[in-house]
């Protein structure tokens, strides 16, 4: 909060003099004036949470069984199997059962059964890194990870989406780290039958998104092809026919973007990059199969997070800009007005971090890479929409 003092003058028969300076307090996050007597009760948009036991980036996060979990990622220049659990009520962390193998750049999704699914990713570090095919699921009842059948193909930087059948679609990604080899293959995990190959994507994709829509189909959008060229194409996967069919293309080629399914059934796609980092956003309408403009963020972003809030708005945090410097600012997208507005500033810039919505409506942001830090950070922050 910023504090200012100004003179107050009244005229007429009441007071012809100048009073003592009046204190005006402005919330730096919201730019709103705050009554001096209420400053102790005014929530802040951003506040620190307790540091994680382990600094990490390129990790996964989910709220499962009363805990906000962060799993895997890189800790220095190597992947980790460690998993930390955050208790929102106590603002405290504990280290819980590790993954069955260290992994980063894996895909993860919550399943209807209440378990947290994770598959693939990179193992090792640097030139010795290699793709993983293993899969596992976190059981909140036992706070342990259970080994699942391995994918038919090893992959990382792929995309996963939970299917209405209780299974998972894994698509695209890279199959090896050096030299880089991309894939357009896809496979489906069934809790009873394991993995089976399914129809292939129309092209190889990495850095794409895959989102389950309200009608049960999965929308795969954007990404980069094997030639390293970003694409605007999109396609729909139908679990009933085990096939992909083309749908409307994005207005801009993009990879490394984020996608969020809104309460109105439309899909918001934000940021990412092609030859440049993008600030633009687009909306996919499943009824028409077309994309509509959704305004632009105040700054271009890649490797940011996007979280659907209880209000229906979307919080976008951090990421990196055109100079590949990490960003500390945050923004809100409002579907009702199809517009963007500032959402305060985090204590530090972050890229490759994670964010998860808590039952309180707050958002927990964890880890990532930050300018001036040699290794991924262990800090965490809370966003409180009620402060707006």
C-alpha distance from residue 277 to each of 76, 316, 320 (Å): 26, 15, 9
Alpha carbon distance 212, 215 (integer Å)? 8
- Supply φ then ψ for residue 118, to 5 degrees: -145, 140
pLDDT at 69: 98
Residue where the block lists tokens 């507005």:
341
Using the 8-state DSSP alphabet, how is residue 277 labeled? B
Q: Say if CB 189 and CB 163 are below 8 A apart.
A: no
- Bigger pLDDT: 224 vs 7: 224
Taking residues 32-43, what's their average pLDDT?
47
Coil, strand or helix: which one is 39?
A: helix
Neighbouring C-alpha atoms within 13 Å toward the C-beta of 102: 14
Tokens of 161: 């989406």
Q: Please compute Rg for the chain using Cα positions.
A: 23
Residue 27 pLDDT greater than 70, yes or no: no
pLDDT over 50 at 349, yes or no: yes
- Distance (Å, whole) CA 27 – CA 387: 10
Long-range contact set of residues 369-375: C-beta below 8 Å, sequence gap at least 24: 369/57, 369/326, 370/326, 371/325, 371/326, 375/55, 375/75, 375/76
pLDDT at 7: 33
Looking at residues 77-100, what average pLDDT do you find?
A: 96
Please give the pLDDT value at position 372.
84
- The C-alpha atoms of residue 7 and residue 22 are separated, in whole angstroms, by 6
Contact, 255 vs 320, CB < 8 A? no
Q: What's the pTM?
A: 0.89
């Amino acid at each position: 909060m910023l504090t200012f003092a100004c003179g107050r003058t009244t005229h007429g028969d009441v007071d012809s003099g100048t009073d003592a300076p009046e204190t005006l307090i402005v919330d730096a996050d919201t730019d709103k004036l705050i009554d001096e007597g209420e400053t102790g009760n005014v929530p802040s948009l951003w506040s620190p949470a307790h540091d994680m036991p382990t600094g990490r980036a390129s990790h996964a996060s989910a709220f499962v069984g009363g805990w906000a979990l962060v799993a895997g990622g890189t800790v220095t220049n190597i992947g980790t199997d460690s998993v930390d659990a955050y208790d929102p009520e106590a603002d405290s962390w504990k280290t819980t059962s590790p993954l069955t193998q260290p992994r980063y750049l894996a895909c993860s999704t919550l399943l209807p059964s209440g378990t947290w699914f994770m598959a693939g990713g990179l193992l090792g570090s640097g030139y010795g890194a290699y793709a993983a095919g293993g899969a596992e699921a976190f059981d909140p009842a036992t706070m342990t990870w259970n080994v699942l059948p391995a994918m038919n193909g090893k992959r990382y930087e792929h995309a996963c989406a939970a299917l209405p059948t209780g299974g998972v679609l894994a698509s695209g990604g890279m199959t090896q780290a050096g030299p880089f080899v991309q894939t357009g293959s896809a496979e489906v995990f069934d809790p009873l039958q394991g993995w089976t190959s399914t129809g292939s994507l129309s092209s190889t994709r990495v850095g794409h998104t895959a989102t389950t829509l309200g009608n049960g189909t999965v929308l795969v959008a954007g990404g980069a092809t094997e030639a390293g060229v970003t694409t605007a194409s999109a396609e729909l996967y139908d679990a009933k026919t085990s096939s992909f069919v083309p749908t409307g293309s994005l207005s801009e080629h993009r990879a490394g973007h984020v996608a969020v399914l809104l309460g109105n059934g439309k899909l918001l796609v934000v940021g990412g990059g092609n030859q440049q980092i993008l600030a633009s956003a687009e909306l996919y309408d499943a009824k028409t199969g077309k994309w509509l403009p959704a305004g632009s963020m105040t700054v271009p972003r890649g490797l940011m997070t996007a979280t659907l809030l209880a209000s229906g708005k979307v919080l976008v945090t951090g990421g990196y800009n055109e100079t590949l410097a990490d960003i500390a600012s945050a923004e809100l997208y409002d579907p009702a007005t199809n517009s963007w507005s500032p959402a305060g500033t985090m204590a530090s810039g972050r890229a490759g971090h994670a964010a998860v919505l808590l039952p309180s409506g707050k958002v927990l942001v964890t880890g990532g890479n930050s300018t001036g830090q040699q290794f991924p950070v262990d800090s965490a922050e809370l966003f409180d929409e009620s402060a707006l």
